[in-house]
């Protein structure tokens, strides 16, 4: 079976999420990691910062989303994918919809707390049909990517806690195959999206972007001056 360039990019970004989750554990956090990427390039990435900042809202997905918006200097991210080792919770899913994120890719499902499998925030078309001024079309969802390796990260963090979470059904079992759920069709043209893009600076001149990327080894040409 051939694998597309898009699939390779998804795998690469999820690999980075697993690395971030392991880094987070070393910093005293739970093993969460998230990446915001566009056209194969990492825009922002984060571990959880709940423990380090004593703030329960500092989930990796929210930290990465917020950072990406600052770096790109626009609220709307229809060209971006949110990657996360675990299915985003509702608290992270609402801002993702508000940011009009184009895709969400995760490894481990969260049937008790998930913003997709439990609360259906991510694919709820009612949000965007009733409040199109606030919420974007439902993103494409890819679930179960590298789920067995992601589970290994959690098991390595704390085998006992992991076993309890599994027994209680808090975490979905490793998927045999990656699942895809199509997002809602997106309008071909939007004045607001055009205004966002025109207002956004070029990626290569974003000092914040370069600073954020300095610690990562997953980026390629955008870090180089003059590109």
216: tokens are 């990562």
Minimal distance in Å, beta carbon 82 to Zn ion? 11
Stretch that binds Zn ion, among 4-12, 52-60, 79-87, 99-107 (CB under 5 A): 52-60
Cβ-Cβ contacts under 8 Å for 194 (sequence gap 6 or more):
none
CB of 86 to Zn ion, least distance (A): 8
Sole window of 47-55, 89-97, 104-112, 137-145 interacting with Zn ion (rule: CB under 5 A): 89-97
Residues 6 or more apart whose CB falls under 8 angstroms from that of 12 comprise 218
Q: Which is nearer to Zn ion, 96 or 219 (CB)?
A: 96
- Residue 5 bears catalytic tag: no
**Region from 10-18, 54-62, 65-73, 103-111 binding Zn ion, contact rule CB under 5 A:** 54-62
Instruction: Using the minimum distance from each CB to Zn ion, give the nearer residue, 59 or 97.
Output: 59
Identified binder of Zn ion from the candidate list 16, 58, 59, 100, rule CB under 5 A: 59
Shortest Å distance, C-beta 154 to Zn ion = 16
Q: Alpha-carbon distance 159 to 175, whole Å?
A: 19
The string of DSSP codes covering 154-197 is HHHH-HHHHHHHHHTT-SPPPPSS-EEE------S--HHHHHHH
Interaction between residue 89 and Zn ion (CB under 5 A): yes
Q: Which of 17, 42, 68, 92 binds Zn ion (CB under 5 A)?
A: 92
d(CA 118, CA 112): 6
Residues in binding contact with Zn ion, number by CB under 5 A: 4
Candidates 19, 29, 45, 61; catalytic one: 61
Nearer of residues 91 and 170 to Zn ion, judged by Cβ: 91
Angle in degrees, CA 151, 100, 183, rounded to 5: 65
Class of residue 36 by CB neighbours under 10 A (exposed 0-12, middle 13-18, buried 19+): buried
Q: Which stretch binds Zn ion (CB under 5 A): 3-11, 91-99, 139-147, 174-182?
A: 91-99
In the complex with Zn ion, which residue's Cβ is closer, 157 or 204?
157
d(CA 70, CA 114): 26
The DSSP letter of residue 56 is T
Q: How many residues does the chain have?
A: 227
- Per CB under 5 A, residues contacting Zn ion are 59, 89, 91-92
Q: Would you name the residues annotated as active-site residues? A: 61
């Amino acid at each position: 079976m051939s694998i597309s360039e898009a699939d390779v990019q998804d795998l690469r970004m999820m690999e980075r999420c697993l690395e971030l989750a392991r880094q987070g554990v070393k910093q005293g956090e739970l093993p969460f990691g998230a990446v915001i990427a566009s056209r194969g390039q990492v825009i922002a990435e984060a571990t959880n910062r709940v423990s380090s900042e004593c703030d329960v809202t500092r989930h990796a997905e929210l930290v990465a989303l917020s950072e990406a918006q600052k770096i790109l200097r626009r609220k709307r991210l229809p060209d971006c994918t949110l990657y996360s080792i675990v299915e985003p919770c509702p608290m992270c899913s609402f801002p993702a919809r508000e940011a009009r994120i184009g895709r969400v890719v995760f490894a481990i499902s969260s049937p008790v707390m998930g913003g997709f499998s439990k609360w259906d925030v991510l694919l709820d078309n009612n949000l965007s049909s009733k409040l199109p001024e606030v919420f974007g079309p439902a993103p494409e969802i890819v679930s179960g990517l590298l789920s067995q390796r992601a589970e290994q990260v959690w098991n390595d963090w704390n085998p006992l806690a992991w076993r309890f979470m599994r027994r209680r059904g808090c975490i979905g079992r490793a998927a045999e195959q990656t699942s895809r759920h199509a997002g809602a069709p997106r309008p071909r043209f939007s004045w607001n999206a055009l205004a966002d893009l025109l207002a956004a600076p070029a990626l290569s001149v974003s000092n914040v972007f370069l600073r954020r990327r300095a610690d990562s080894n997953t980026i390629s040409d955008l870090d180089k001056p003059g590109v």
